[in-house]
Amino acid sequence: MPPKANDRMQVDSDSDISIDLEHTTAKGKGKAKPKTGDKRKQDKGKGKAKDTQAYTWEASFTRSWETVQEDEAGSLQTSVEDLMARGRRRRLLAPAAAIRRTIIRHLVLVLDLSAAMLDRDMRPTRFDLMLQYAREFVTEWFDQNPLGQIGVVGMRAGLGERIGEMSGNPQEVLKAIADRHKMEPVGEPSLQNAVEMARGSMSHLPTHSSRELLIIFGSLTTCDPGNIHETIDACVKSRARISVVALAAEMKICREMCEKTGGQFGVAMNEGHFKDLLFELVPPPAQRALTRLSTTSNGAGNTTVANPAADLMMMGFPTRLPDASPASLCVCHAEMRSQGFLCPRCMSKVCDVPTDCDVCGLMIVSAPHLARSYHHLFPVKPYDAVQEVEPLLEAACHACARVFPDKPVVAKEGLSPVGRYRCPECFNDFCSECDVFVHDVVHCCPGCGK
Ligand SMILES: [Zn+2]
Ligand SMILES: [Zn+2]
Ligand SMILES: [Zn+2]
Ligand SMILES: [Zn+2]
């Protein structure tokens, strides 16, 4: 017993000492030198680059935390709210005019599974973080693009590897990237092989659907069997749009690939920025494939191309079978099931919508899917920030009935000092939360239904 007690005593005194040490570290003086030295060593690589703005892509990234200021009471609450509100307003003000967008989207998610993904500069590793964000991305993408389909391709050991077939069912796509052991990173990536494979899986698609590639790229090298510029030219010709989210640094070939095909390129600075870059690609892209085609070709035959996407396209609304109906074989998996949907043209049974009928090729969608895609084309008009309270105004938010503040506060540009945001159609006032909710989630004004 005595030695044990002694041990504990020592442990206690040790921990006391370490606490003392931490105190001195906080003051930044004396004994704590080795500790701060260690820290500096860890941060050296990143810190230096950030301080001197060594890379051009760093300039486009504003350090949001530096704009946060404490208020008089020393609280961050108001400035955080302010920052969020400003971000929301900026986002809402951007897409005011109606843009033609591609609703029927086909996306191939290209994942880097090379050894570079085992780097720990993003926690826990680039690979684990990529998988986590890819899952969130797929869920959000299908939520916003119910008529879209996603396929997954991996880049590993110099080859392109098909991980998930093109599918309109989010569960199937998520299942394909669920098992991390099947995707253990190894070897070098090959951009050309992966892009060729992705392009091949979309070559049969009709012109009204988009062909998109989203490459998450962690490596700084690519190991290609041929000339990748020919692949890029082929992508331009088939109107495949390539976007790259790089995790390490900017590579010229990646940027060129994105710029030539009309996609987006971004380098992730940290975990949060990585997610932002990825989620920027969730809303459907503006349709500009045809203008691009006429500028890139020599201009001989393409100048007067009518837009074929304005043609009508055929869709079928399926009949849903009740769960208690007798089991029968489905045409998509050849399995015995009782629930499913009947193709309105050939009456064959499929498991999930939206999909293309395996027998007659008709596109089968449900009406809610169509309705949910609709809001991208006709966004709710941005609400105006009310600058001053006039008498005889409603005292509470039209949507949630929360009472507006009486006293105006000093507000930054684009924000309402009285916390009111007014619909330009129905002239009802809404609070900032409802404003964001209406534009981000509901996509329909509760006051006028537009
Ligand atoms: Zn099936
Ligand atoms: Zn059919
Ligand atoms: Zn409200
Ligand atoms: Zn309204």
The DSSP bridge pattern shows strands 210-217 and 240-246 to be parallel
With respect to residue 254, please indicate whether it lies within any of the assigned structural domains.
yes
Question: What's the pLDDT score for residue 353?
Answer: 83
Same domain for 384 and 369: no
Do 363 and 389 belong together in one domain?
A: no
> Distance from the CA of 439 to the center of ligand 4, in angstroms?
11
- Please give the distance, rounded to the nearest whole angstrom, from the Cα atom of residue 425 to the centre of ligand 4: 5
Average pLDDT over residues 397-416: 80
- Whether residues 349 and 394 fall in one domain: no
Question: What percentage of the chain carries pLDDT values higher than 90?
Answer: 35
Using the predicted structure, report yes or no on whether residue 238 has a pLDDT greater than 60: yes
Identify whether residues 160 and 197 lie together within a single domain: yes
State the pLDDT at residue 93. Answer: 57
Task: State whether 187 and 240 are in the same domain.
Answer: yes
pLDDT score, position 394:
83
Structure tokens at 354: 């939206």
Q: Please indicate, yes or no, whether residues 385 and 345 belong to a single structural domain of this protein.
A: no
Provide the mean pLDDT of the chain.
78
Bridge partners, residue 242, by sequence? 213
On whether both 123 and 176 belong to a single domain, the answer is: yes
Residue at which a domain ends, from 238, 258, 292: 292
Residue 251 has pLDDT above 90, yes or no: yes
Residue 332 phi/psi, 5-degree rounding, is: -85, -40
CA distances 402 to 77, 363, 370, Å, are 20, 45, 33
The CATH number covering residue 411 comes to 3.30.40.10
Same domain, 178 and 214: yes
Q: How far is CA 425 from CA 48, 97, 439, 446, in A?
A: 52, 15, 14, 11
- 95 pLDDT tier (thresholds 50, 70, 90): low
Residue 162: inside a domain, yes or no?
A: yes
- Please state the rounded mean pLDDT for residues 112-132: 91
Q: What is the 335 CA–ligand 2 centroid distance (Å)? A: 17
- What's the 89 CA to ligand 4 centre distance in angstroms? 17
In the predicted structure, residue 123 carries a pLDDT above the cut 90: no
Identify the nearest ligand to the CA of 357 by its number.
2
Kindly state the average pLDDT of the residues 396-421: 81
pLDDT at 54 > cutoff 70: no
Last residue of a domain, one of 374, 398, 419: 374
The yes-or-no verdict on residue 58 having pLDDT over 70 is no
Residue 92 is predicted with a pLDDT of: 59
Q: How far is the CA of 266 from the centre of ligand 1 (A)?
A: 38
- What is the rounded CA–CA span in Å between residue 39 and residue 340? 59
Question: Between these two residues, 60 and 171, which has the higher pLDDT value?
Answer: 171
- Residues 150, 170: one domain? yes
Flag whether 233 is in a domain: yes
**How far, in Å, is the centroid of ligand 1 from the Cα of 374?**
28
Domains: count for the chain: 3
Residues 369 and 432 in one domain: no
Name which of 162, 105, 75 is nearest 363 in CA terms: 105
Percentage of the residues of the chain whose pLDDT score is greater than 70: 72
* 157 and 232 share one domain: yes
Asked whether residue 299 is domain-assigned, the answer is: no
In a domain, 56, yes or no: no
Please compute, for residue 111, the number of CA atoms within 13 A of its CA located in the half-sphere on the CB side. Answer: 31
**pLDDT at residue 219 greater than cutoff 80:** yes
Q: Please state, in angstroms and rounded to a whole number, the distance separating the CA atoms of residues 364 and 146.
A: 12
How far does the centroid of ligand 1 lie from the alpha carbon of residue 73, in Å? 61
Q: Which of 356, 374, 392 represents a domain boundary (last residue)?
A: 374
Band (26; pLDDT cuts 50, 70, 90): very low
Given a cut of 90, whether residue 3 has pLDDT beyond it is: no
pTM check: above 0.85: no
Whether residue 297 is predicted with pLDDT greater than 60 in this model: the reply is no
- Is 391 in the same domain as 361? no
Any domain includes 85: no
For residues 298-326, average pLDDT: 67
Residue 97 pLDDT grade (very low, low, confident, very high; cuts 50, 70, 90): low
Q: Domain span at residue 287?
A: 98-292
Q: Is residue 193 predicted with pLDDT exceeding 80?
A: yes
Of 97-106, 208-217, 313-322, 415-424, where does mean pLDDT reach its minimum? 97-106
Note whether residue 161 is domain-resident: yes
pLDDT exceeds cutoff 70 at 17: no
Residues with Cβ within 5 Å of ion ligand 3? 397, 399-400, 431, 434
Between 68 and 72, residue with greater pLDDT: 72
Is residue 306 in some structural domain? no
Query: Residue 116 maps to which CATH number?
Result: 3.40.50.410
- 90 pLDDT above the threshold of 80: no
Task: Report the pLDDT value the prediction gives residue 269, as an integer from 0 to 100.
Answer: 87
